[in-house]
């Protein structure tokens, strides 16, 4: 039987449109709020059509030395051009980008997991230092 982690893909976001790109400060002040953005298609656009789209992004934080991650945000993208008139005829399309604000007293790693309805799960990570 396969395990979920065997199916999570990763790559360099500069050459693969499915990899979530995490943008945040490299170093933050302990206990101060900072912004984290996660998006797909920074270098290569990812489609956002009824047939092929990013369904959701989840952002986690794992403090150094801790065993488990903490979920920071889960964002679902629900509008991909669906309409009673047919696929890609709708008036609304969400864009696969999200911003979360957080604070921490511990250095650690941000992990982003994104789901493409055709190409499955993709991940990336970014280390954060605390001063």
Judge whether 96 counts as a catalytic residue: no
Token pair of 57 as six digits: 């992004």
Clarify whether 101 is annotated catalytic: no
17 is catalytic: yes
H or E segment at 45? none
116 is catalytic: yes
52 noted as active-site residue? yes
Catalytic residue among 52, 70, 103, 129: 52
> Exactly one of 80, 96, 111, 116 is catalytic; which is it?
116
Which residues lie closer than 8 Å to 37 by C-beta, 6 or more apart? 22, 23, 24, 97, 98, 99, 100
Could you say which of 5, 18, 76, 80 is catalytic?
Answer: 18
74 is catalytic: no
List the catalytic residues: 16-18, 46, 52, 116, 119
């Amino acid at each position: 039987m396969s395990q979920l982690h065997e199916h999570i893909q990763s790559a360099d976001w500069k050459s693969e449109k499915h990899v979530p790109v995490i943008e945040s400060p490299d170093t933050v002040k302990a206990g101060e709020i900072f912004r984290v953005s996660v998006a797909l298609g920074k270098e290569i656009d990812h489609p956002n059509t009824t047939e092929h789209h990013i369904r959701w992004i989840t952002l986690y934080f794992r403090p150094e030395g801790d065993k488990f991650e903490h979920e920071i945000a889960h964002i679902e993208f629900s509008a991909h051009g669906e309409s009673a008139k047919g696929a890609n005829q709708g008036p609304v399309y969400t864009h696969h980008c999200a911003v979360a604000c957080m604070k921490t007293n511990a250095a650690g790693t941000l992990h982003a997991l994104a789901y493409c309805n055709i190409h499955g799960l993709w991940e990336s990570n970014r280390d954060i230092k605390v001063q």
